Structures are given as structure tokens and as C-alpha cells.
Structure 1
Amino acid sequence: MQQEPATDAPHRDTPHLRVRQDRGYTVLEFRGEIDIVAATEITARLDDATKGPAPRVVIDLTRIEFFDCSGLRLLYRARGRVLDRGGRLRLVCTHPLTLRILRTTGLSRLLPPQASLDAALGRPEAASGTL
């Protein structure tokens, strides 16, 4: 009996995450409540999107309803993995409370949030949130 090849599970949509390609970037669209349960679901897919040399990733938070420290850990994790691999990470966020959390923690200085996906993907390479 021949075994079927593994499916590409890390790219399947979940209740808290949609993954797609856009203009040479992997877009991770977080959805709903981003808490410890969602983070557990998202981590493997985030790691998959940030593996390999020079990953190009956008994390889109426009469809979130709630964002706690678990979500911050995901952003820090993504940023560290992308920087370690010489890639680019961009963030889209318009949620007022999440923007406040990003400012309070200083993450908005390290990963400046953009108001739309088009704005994030249209930014010059020199201002990509990389060091």
C-alpha cells in the first residue's frame, strides 16, 4: 500500500488565520480574537512563512477583534525569525486598541504599522522594518 504525499497543511486557512501570496510576499491575515488559543494555532504557520532565506512577510491585523500578549509574542517571533534570515516583515494594523498596545510596548517603532495592505506592499524597501 502506497502512502499518499503529505498535504501542505501550513497553508490551509484556519478560523484565526488566512495565508496567501501577494506581490511576492506571504500575507498572514490574522482574524478574530488573537489570544493564547489562536497563537497556538498560528505559530506553526507563522514559522512556515518565516523559514528559509530572505522571507518576505506581511502580517495583516485588519480583521482582528481582540489582541493580547499572545499576539505580541507572535509579532516578536515573526520579526526575529525574519531578521535572522535577512528578510522583510511588514505590518498592517488599524485597530485602535491594538495600535495603542503596539505603541506602549515599543513594537510600533520596530515594526511600523501601515493602514492598508496596499500601503504595506507599496513601501520602499529601505523602510521595510528590517535592521
Structure 2
Amino acid sequence: MRQEPRQDPAPLSRHLRIHQDRGHTVLELRGEIDIAAATEIAPHLDRVTAQENARVVIDLLHVEFFDCSGLRLLYRARSRVLERGGQLQLVCAHPLTLRVLKVTGLSRLLPPRATLDAALGQPEATSGTL
């Protein structure tokens, strides 16, 4: 299977970069994901998750702070992707963010992978059922 080269486009905002990798759309969140950042990110996330059978990865490896606004983005993305027959993977390795995901129960619905390669290497995995 031919792998597509990773593209590094200019960021859509200081909090978001979107690129294609191995047949997936990767949304790379960056910096502090708070209500202001979530407002900036949401329209781009909605556009990506509106597609039928989308294969999406949300990458939190470059996130320094993540609050309930970020959790809402993840839950919304998961719901929208699953409603349209798609797949969603999450990449996260930051201990505090992992703790927030676990405490809120979101890690059960959207199990985080430690690396982008781990998420992209499991295209058949889905993120649970609605």
C-alpha cells in the first residue's frame, strides 16, 4: 500500500493545522485549547467531520493546556464522525490531558493513542458506538 507523504501546510490558525496522512485527515491542535481557541477551531472541525465516512485523527501532542472547551470539541467531533459512518482516532500523551480524559469518561469513548503512527496504523479501529 502506497503511503502518502505527510504534508505540512500553513496553520489555519495558531491553534490548528490540518493535513492528510495515510488516508486520514489529521487535525493537529496546538497550544492552549480554551474557549477562545475552541471558537477558532470549531468551524474547521465541523467542516472535516461533516464528510461521509471520514477518517479523522485529532492530534493533541502539541497541546499545552486543555479545558472543558476542548472536551466539547472532542465529543462533538466523535458524534459527528460516527453519525456519518466514519472513524475517529485521538492522539494524546500529556499526563494532565490524559487525566482529564479519564476523569470525564471520554477516554472510554475515544481511547487515546500515544503517537500519530499508532493512530494511523489502526484504520480499522473505531472509537466506540453511539
TM over 0.5: yes
TM-score (norm: length of structure 2): 0.89
Structure 1 residue aligned with 2:19? 20
Q: Secondary structure at the match of 2:88?
A: strand
Distance 2:104 2:94 in 1: 16
Q: Secondary structure at the match of 1:129?
A: coil
AA aligned to 1:128 is: T
- Conservation of the 8 A alpha-carbon contact between 1:56 and 1:87: yes
**Alpha-carbon offset, residue 52 of structure 1:** 2.1
Q: Secondary structure at the match of 2:63?
A: strand
Distance 2:63 2:123 in 1: 26
Structure 2 residue aligned with 1:30? 29
TM-score (norm: length of structure 1): 0.88
- Conservation of the 8 A alpha-carbon contact between 1:90 and 1:129: yes
Structure 2 residue aligned with 1:3? none
AA aligned to 2:39 is: T
- Counterpart pick for 1:128 among 120, 126, 129: 126
Unaligned segments of structure 2, at least 5 residues? 1-9
- Conservation of the 8 A alpha-carbon contact between 1:89 and 1:130: no
AA aligned to 2:69 is: S
Larger Rg: 1
Structure 2 residue aligned with 1:73? 72
Distance 2:87 2:50 in 1: 12
Deviations 1:57-76 (A, max 9, x none): 00000000000000000000
Percent identical across equivalent pairs?
68
Distance 1:114 1:31 in 2: 17
**Alpha-carbon offset, residue 13 of structure 1:** 2.0
Structure 2 residue aligned with 1:118? 117
**Alpha-carbon offset, residue 123 of structure 1:** 1.5
Which has the larger helix fraction?
1
* Off by >3 Å, runs of 4+ in structure 1: none
Q: Where do residues 74-113 of structure 1 align in structure 2 (5 Å cutoff)?
A: 74-113=73-112
Q: Over aligned residue pairs, what C-alpha RMSD do you find? A: 1.3
Distance 2:71 2:117 in 1: 23
Distance 1:54 1:102 in 2: 25
Deviations 1:90-127 (A, max 9, x none): 000001000000000110010000000000000151x3
Distance 1:93 1:129 in 2: 14
